[in-house]
Amino acid sequence: MELNKKVDQLKEDLVKSTQEIVKIKSVEGEPKDGMPFGEDVNNALKCALDISKKLGFKTVNMNGYVGYAEYGEGDDYVAVLGHLDVVPEGNGWKYPAYGAEIHDGKVYGRGTMDDKGPIMTALYGLKAIKDCNLPLSKRVRVIFGTNEETGSKELEYYNAHEKAPISGFTPDAEYPIIYGEKGITIFDVVKDLNNKGCGEVVVKHIKGGERANMVPDYCEAEVEAKNADSVVKAVKEFAEKTGFNLTTKVNNNNITIISKGIGAHGSLPELGKNAVMQLFALLETMPLGKCDLADYVSFFNKHVGFETDGKSFGVALEDKESGKLTFNVGTISMDETKISLSLNLRYPVTYKYDDMMNPFNKTISGTGMRVKNMSAQDPLFFPPDHPTIKTLQKVYKEQTGKEPKLLAIGGGTYAKEMKNIVAFGPIFPGQVDLDHQANEYMEIDDLVANAKIYAHAIYELAK
């Protein structure tokens, strides 16, 4: 417990360093020479390396892409991987988003929890090891990423220039330990509209949803009808029958139909209400006539509807490690020439990409639809008896007294971007996840608790 005592002694310094780096607004900006993600992100990287230098560590700045603090000797190294870039602050803050003010024992600010606070706790955990002169057989690197929120391009650079760590963790998720992350795909399903509408109601355009990885809470269609009143009446009756939030705005023969749903993260689509699919359900009841759009709408109502597990699409994969595949219809755009839905499918950890996409492609074959703009990330899965998993379980149990349960999640963490890394902390079970929210904060007690856990974890992995 010598390490814990040392962390307690470093507490004041840890809090100050966390405040110092949170005060830098490190949202991605225009690239400049030696600053691939903009000046603000670069300032945060310089700040982290300056803090590391003051603590007595060797530091390296890899051309502004990524930096690290290093301690110890040996061919192999253990890594702690965090990031200094943040998402924009948005509105609704009760304290300044970059003020790093302390209120009620909490440090408030964008990045306190995601991920500046946690990576500082790991750095100070390593400082405690250094100050205690504990013998290590491997080097330790605390790696400061700079582009996690917008593509992790900095780690492509790191991985191209450096060998991978032999083990390590990223403090950018939750406790106890995340041993599995589903495979993630985002892609469009596009159909050309050659056969135009010829029914009593003609759809001019549809738009809705913000991003593929969110359940859309808003969608609207502009339609033209000879009898606008009958459309308004039909929408009202359908809304009453289904309980969907559907409304209309009339401008002569043009009617805008508005569908409102409930947003949710694309990895948990069952928690939302899909505004796009509500609109599709309505459109199928309307006299659109025989046309490509009607076929497309009908196809998605039949094969998706309000399911979130891909069952009717023929892609309902499931395993005991991570549960069911999730299927989210995220955005829609339709104009006179084509219609496109963007989908976010996340498949269980023990399956492969083709296990999902082969049946998916079979379902759309012969429909004139095509898959475009595919972005795919393989699942991440560590066997429960993997040495890194076992070590982190031991540390978590010893430091918290709680059961080190293994979690498999639908979201993707930084662990997917570097070999031999798992997600470990910093959010404790039962705590609110304030990542990307207004009034993001980290409790000072949690900064200290994390520094202790990470000190022991680094020591156990590198001793």
Helix (H) / strand (E) containing 213: none
Q: How confident is the model at residue 6 (pLDDT cuts 50, 70, 90)?
A: very high
Tokens of 300: 């998605």
Residue 52 pLDDT exceeds 90:
yes
Q: How confident is the model at residue 451 (pLDDT cuts 50, 70, 90)?
A: very high
- Residue-wise pLDDT for 291-309, tens only, equals 999 999 999 999 999 999 9
Active site residue 85: yes
User: What is the DSSP annotation of 241-290?
Assistant: HH--EEEEEEETTEEEEEEE-B-EETT-GGGSB-HHHHHHHHHTTS---S
- Residue-wise pLDDT for 169-213, tens only, equals 999 999 999 999 999 999 999 999 999 877 899 999 999 998 898
Give residue 411's pLDDT: 82
Is CATH 3.40.630.10 correct for 2-182+380-462? yes
Same topology, domains 2-182+380-462 and 184-377? Answer is no
Give residue 318's pLDDT: 98
Question: What rounded mean pLDDT belongs to the chain?
Answer: 96
**What's 184-377's CATH class?**
alpha beta
Q: Give the residue with greater pLDDT, 151 vs 314.
A: 314
Domain residue ranges in the chain: 2-182+380-462, 184-377
C-alpha angle with apex 396: 395 to 398, nearest 5 degrees? 65
Determine contact, residues 12/107, Cβ cutoff 8 Å.
no
Q: How confident is the model at residue 138 (pLDDT cuts 50, 70, 90)?
A: very high
Residue 243 pLDDT exceeds 90:
yes
Catalytic member of 28, 114, 115, 148: 148
- Residue-wise pLDDT for 217-234, tens only, equals 999 999 999 899 999 999
- Regarding pTM above 0.95, the answer is no
Give residue 253's pLDDT: 85
- Residue-wise pLDDT for 248-274, tens only, equals 999 988 999 999 999 988 999 999 999
Distance, in Å, from the CA atom of 338 to the CA atom of 56, rounded to the nearest integer, reads: 60
- Residue-wise pLDDT for 413-449, tens only, equals 899 999 999 999 999 999 988 888 889 999 999 999 9
Give residue 365's pLDDT: 98
The mean pLDDT of 349-353, rounded to a whole number, is 97
